Structure 1
Amino acid sequence: MSTRTSRMSRISRRSRTLTTMAPILAAVLAGGLLTAGQASAAPPVGTVNFSGKVTCKNAFPAPNNSVPTRVSLDSDEDDGSGPTNNPVNRRATFGPISLDTPLDSPFNLTAEVTCKAPGKQPQTFTRTITLDSLTEGDTVPLNIK
């Protein structure tokens, strides 16, 4: 009988422990669910226009006479590209290129420039430009070297 009483008392203690722990466990789970729904929201996104001047001079030094032919931009939200205008003496203008970008928060814009020398294969170089506090509809001037 003492074995049976001892076994019953162990079961009884386990039962009481689980009963005591149940409200605590429920509160922890509910708290986790409540805080999971409060994750930070992504920054707002809007369309911004980029245009400016680009040169291959610093990317591909003499005697290479390459000129910029295309500019591609990537904001991690969107990407776009366009040809350059009037390439002369390793310099050209580009844009406007419209992209969706994060607004009111810092981000890195990746610019890839394609340069072409007569009789050679096109080459590219990449620049990363940190931007911040843009507003929907902004026109951002970029000079890429």
Structure 2
Amino acid sequence: MPPKRPTHKVTLQLTGGSAAVVDLGKMLGQTGVNLVEIKRRYDEMSSSQRGDIVPVEVTVFDDRSFALRLKTPPTAFLIRRALDGKGSSRPGHETAGTLSTETLRAIALRKLPDLNTTDIDAAMRTVAGTARSMGVMVAG
């Protein structure tokens, strides 16, 4: 039996623990894969992150089977959650809030598996850059 070949690879940002079949159908409907099974497996895998936005990479193979790989929530989502709000409507002109160094480190540690570095200081600089682009000040 020849090895399975991937035919589609899609990254979706879904709500952890409760993915909407509509969102899955928009991107994966034409592949012929079982959407209900993808939803069931995604909800099962992301149940510990219920309510977060949890990106998932869906790889569909030529025999209509699939593989799921969860990623960490987007940095902007984690920063907004830490501030209990949103970014500035005019970054660079208005400040949306301030992140403490401890909060910055916590977000960087959570994002570390998906970043292209293994150094926590470099990860903190990456997260700080995202915060600045959202109009969020970084203390320290």
TM over 0.5: no
Q: TM-score of the superposition, structure 2-length normalised?
A: 0.26
Higher RCO structure, 1 or 2 (CA under 8 Å, sep 6+):
1
Q: TM-score of the superposition, structure 1-length normalised?
A: 0.25
Greater percentage in strand: 1
**Bigger Rg, structure 1 or 2:** 1
Greater percentage in helix: 2
